[in-house]
Amino acid sequence: MKKSIIKFVVSIIVSIFLVGLLLNLVSGEHGDVSIATIVDAAKSAIMFYIAIYLVCQLFQTFFRAARAKILLKSAGTEVKLTPMIFVTFVRGAFVDMLPARIGELSYVALLKRGCGIAVADGLSSLSISVLFDFIGLLLVFAVALPLATNSISLVGSVIMLILLCVVGGVGIFYILPYFGKLAERVRNRFIQLPKFMIVLLNLLSDTATSVVAVRKSGKLLPVLLLSVCVRACKYIGLLFLFQAVVIPLSAELAAASSSQVVLALIGAEGSAALPVPSFMSFGTYETGGISAFKLMGFGEETLKFVVIAMFAMHFISQIIDYSLGAISLIAFVWKTDGKTNPTVKATDGKRVVWQKLLSACVLLGTIVIALGFLFLSYRSFVKGGRLTPPEKGSSVEIPASEIEHRKAFVNGLQGRIVWSSNRDGLHSIYSQDIASGEITKLTNSGFTDTYPIISPDGKRFVFSRSTEPWVSLRNMSKWDTYLYDFEKGEECLLATNAFMAVWDPSGRSVVFMRNNSSELVQATLIEENGVITTEDKVILKSGIAPIVEGTQITIPDINDTEPSLLVTLRGRMNYIASISKDGKKLQKIDSGCQAVWRKSGSTEFAYMNHPGKQKNSIFLCDVLDPPGKIFFDSESDYSHEYFPRFSPDGEWLVYGASTGGHEQDSCDYEIFLMNVETKQTLRITYNTSNDSWPDIFVSNIK
């Protein structure tokens, strides 16, 4: 007992040392990496991908259990599949508790205790399973290595793995039987041996006999196929788990090929299997992974994210594996009920009926919970937006009739329209001169530029730029706000961690979302010697009245009226609301989103809601007399309206519309201009790209 405690303490100390060493190595000029950073990465992981990992774990366990069942049957021992599945889950939890995979012996102990399987049969099936795990690993390695770039340095690992498989195969199937026969001869010759020696010789002889029986059974091909399935499920699941962590973390690391990731994961697994005393393989696992990525040519800055990702996915996987292991251990003990052979039925008929009923209820409940988890994870995944940028579009020929219609529609109208479009790749900001129809590309950053809002004087606009090349608008945490000057054609960073900024009517400040939309900030612009800075003030915060904790404050618009703020609340509160200037009074307006004031000093505003010809339509409302009524629902094919914005005089409205697609930053929206009085419209864009979030400034205001 004392030695076990010492080993446990030593493993914790070694893990702490390795973890600290890794974090120190990648911290510094590329930013500090801490436990808090890793926890944040784990919290930000994509739940839907984690759910896929969980499903892959279930399939992997099933294949492992089926393989073990075949091996035991080949050795002459029959066991049901259900207890084998439980044992396999428990084995998966215990395998990391001790170094050098000694935790695998829990498999032998449980089979002996709960299923009456001889230790020799358990050891033979375990050793053959481990051997075929390495053979399956070799096949995965052989497929992944040629597909991965900069992987020539890992050829040595393949050679070592081949040698390990050859030596292991010869050792288990030929050398072990030889020593088994030798042990039998020694036992028969030396009758007066100590008892413990006789036990060991019997164990060696019986294990060898079991291995020979398996070798002669003709079942090694199914065992190999199941081993390949085990490895396939394992690394498909780990690939999804890796992506679950790195997609919100690092675009460069998320772009790593599947082959490179698999090779790194294999390196991590191999490192964790070394006879190094570490707690749950923390430190050893990550060392192998980061070494593989480094050998494949990943730079120092990327390696920082590798360490964060490896620790985060290790943490998540351990939670899942140990939870499944603990549940399975309880279920195994209950299922076997202390019997040495779970295939023997209870003599009490009523007890059997109740056990079956309880088992059915547990199974049904588990399925319902699993399906519910998958549904919620998928829903969360979908609401998280696209993980990759949409394909860029192509121009559509403008009909001659529309050209004539444009001339009559814009006759005498001066001003410009700005919007976001991915027609040349990632989203950039475009501008159209209303009178001439000429389109100009204003930004070309290589990042996602969106949500341009023109200042009240029409001289500049603010817009949101992602902190990674592609970020979906549904991800509200990775954005900065920039200011663009039309006359100078120059842009500057206005505020970090700032999304969807809008101008107040005076033009002296902007309001934007911050900290994943948990705060609404008003930033006063201060310009000195041509340099613009801001003085920030939090005007609304989730968790402080009147906003309930867990609510996102999105798509703000501000006016010089009372109430002055319009916001779309999501989460615990889920509706459009108006909020007073002091931020203390909140009024629920309606369901829907994207509420925008009509003009300075007006109490009218527009917003998007259902119903409509294609679900969406534009509503108009007086903030003093909610809710609103449908103002416009196009009869054309483009009737899924979105993104309304008014000109400063409130007489013109720009909006986006699709033919039914909804996703804000990927569907084929076109931009339209509407005369508010007549409700006549003019199509502005003709491109199959995503044209979204327009704004308008009209200079010849009445």
**According to the model, what pLDDT value does residue 106 have?**
78
Report the distance separating Cα 267 and Cα 158, nearest Å. Answer: 11
Question: Residue holding tokens 């192509």?
Answer: 394
Report the distance separating Cα 314 and Cα 316, nearest Å. Answer: 6
Kindly report the CA angle at 174 between 168 and 175, in degrees rounded to 5? 75
Return the domain boundaries, the chain: 2-7+46-344, 404-693
Asked if 558 and 564 touch (Cβ cutoff 8 Å), the reply is yes
Asked if 47 and 312 touch (Cβ cutoff 8 Å), the reply is no
10-residue mean pLDDT series, the chain (702 residues): 56 62 57 69 81 89 90 86 84 65 73 82 86 80 60 60 82 84 79 76 84 86 89 88 82 75 76 62 71 73 78 83 80 63 46 58 57 56 72 91 91 94 94 95 96 96 94 89 95 96 96 94 91 93 89 94 95 91 92 95 95 93 94 95 96 96 92 96 96 93 51
Q: Give one DSSP letter per residue of 230-245, joined into a string.
A: HHHHHHHHHHHHHHHH
Copy the structure tokens of residue 214: 């398996």
Determine whether domain 404-693 maps to CATH 2.60.40.650. no
Q: What is the pLDDT of residues 59-74, one digit of tens each?
A: 999 998 999 899 888 8
This prediction's pTM: 0.58
**According to the model, what pLDDT value does residue 114 have?**
77
Asked if 235 and 140 touch (Cβ cutoff 8 Å), the reply is yes
The amino acid at 49: Y
Question: Residue holding tokens 């009509």?
Answer: 598
Residue 645 three-state SS: strand
